[in-house]
Structure 1
Amino acid sequence: MPYKIAIIGASGYTGAELLRLIATHPEMEIAALAANSKAGQTIAQVFPFLRHLDLPTLVTWEEIDFSQIDLCFCALPHKTSQEVISKLPTNLKIVDLSADFRLRDPEVYQKWYGNPHAAVEMQKEAVYGLTEFYREDIRGARLVAGTGCNAATGQYVLRPLIAKRVIGLTDIILDLKCAVSGAGRSLKENLLHAELSEGTNAYAVGGTHRHLGEFDQEFSALAGEEVRIQFTPHLIPANRGILATCYVSGEAQAIYKALSAAYADEPFIQVLPFGQTPSTHDVRGSNFCHIGVTGDRIDGRAIVVAALDNLTKGSSGQALQNANLMLGVEETTGLMLAPCFP
């Protein structure tokens, strides 16, 4: 029998991506869909591209009988997610796609998100959902906190390099280009076509982006000392994709060898031949992350570039990868689809 799956927040972009991926998953069945603002509507009404699927009508999350559910994905906005999850059955397996359980320290959470955490005990229970580095913890977890899409991209580049000490820790610069779907589906003036197209802009400049909380937490724990990177994201007029360009001090071949060794057995992380760099086109709609390394004209410096799809590997694909582990399913199930090109 397939595992019964519920999705709360099914009317957003990450909810739609979960539906797209789970639709052909051989060991999962979507048993309940919640979207309080669109309760009573069908998925065909909300997402016409999914009208061919036989899916439950959207309801409020309070209407779901969770005794019949094996695992629940929660794709709600930050703050709302913790309030809802704290009211779900305590034996229910949950993968949260919001930021609410990513940061382990409640004071750090309040610093970056501006409000006290409403489920501190559950925050302690949550396992950070960067699959390739927390795989064994995720297998036995009840609550997994999906990473930020920007945070995932930067960590795929930097974690192996920090762990192997092949780069300097005081001069890391991460320049990141983000597609507009990363901002969610709710209406925002600056994301209107006339406001966004034909332009690119930096945002959260000067160290104010919330994903810095994840970088600080993860890199410092990995290094055993405080690591603070410079990070500037840029909004680009594209629907999907993240391209991260990371400037580091270190010997380029040593950096390449560290990344190649770290990901040699990882099914979704592809390290390109030395000197090649990836494009967001190469990973569009897939759960793959491509990483390239090149030397710089300045001796002792290197450039590492990573590309992933923010909705798939950066969010919903990662969530499904984690859910597979939590349910004892082969980790790659439902996720080996090829990128969509062009």
Structure 2
Amino acid sequence: MYTKKTYSTLQMAIWTRYETLLFTIIILAVVAAYYFLDLAWLKIPWTPLALIGTAVAFVIGFQNNSAYGRIWEARKIWGGIVNTSRTFGMFVQDMLTNEHTQKPVADKVLQSEIKTLTYRHIAWMTALRHAMRALKPWETTTNHRTNREWDTKPPELGVDLKDDLAPYLTSEDLADILKKDNKQTALLYQQSHHLRKLKEQGVIWEFSFLELEGVLQELFTLQGKSERIKNFPYPRHFATLNHFFMWIFVLLLPLALVPQFGEIGSEIAEKYPLIGNLFVWVCVPFYIIVAWIFHTMERIGRTGENPFEGTANDVPISTIARGIEIDLRQNLGEDKDSIPKQFPMKHDTQF
């Protein structure tokens, strides 16, 4: 039976298997040339290679730190959306009353208004997560064959936005929203206009109106922060050069590693001729390990650059948004059977 840690390690090995095979071919070709063709002269000194390796390690570390920073910021933004959404749901339910109306409104009408505002908020989250999942030209991680074979596409890529918004909006509101380029912004404008009308009717007290407008302002802020990460990529000159530097190091490494093992083998051959003669082949696993570590760390950094792309390492905004929807609709008193279920996990991964 696999433990979670063992299963994750196995997944990582499968995820990088093509590159591992390439590293194996590279080192076997160099060792074979060195061993059978007597190319002992084909080598480079360790000093310049060590400098290159150090520089590559620094830039990969910088890339990974930057990528993790983007992921963590995105997670905090959507954590803010969770908290603000729950606050909005609570305010809407308790601030729409007949306390300040000149002509009391029927309870059914009040509940209908509360439901409309709550459902429009769910529509806002739906439009926002669809916007965050729209692929940008620089988002290419999902194109890698080992990412495609896991079938880890987020839910937004298989559903049209219009169909996702339809259950939460009236036909008039939906038609108006679909005309707009930034649909999530248009939905917040609709919320504000609706709240103003309710304030004019006296259903919402003026102070409550200001509180609700403050919540909408916070939602605008969180939306803008999320869009900033989505629309501003990790600087491409850093990302591209990191990739090239890593491959330069990986391709030059055998020219220093193989001769070094050959020299050690020559020393061993003085006492153990057979072992010393074959010792150069011992560098094969060492090279594969070093090359795999550098490549995998660089690839992890590339994978984490765009936290909304929809890969296994990204922020699970679909799951977060659906969780908020479930909370809001349950607190409206809806039956659990009428509320959509949480999106299922794929390969122990949320999306």
**TM band (smaller chain):** under 0.3
Would you tell me which structure has more helix in proportion to its own residues?
2
Q: Which has the larger radius of gyration?
A: 2
TM-score for the superposition, normalised by structure 1: 0.22
Structure with more strand by fraction = 1
TM-score by length of structure 2 reads 0.21
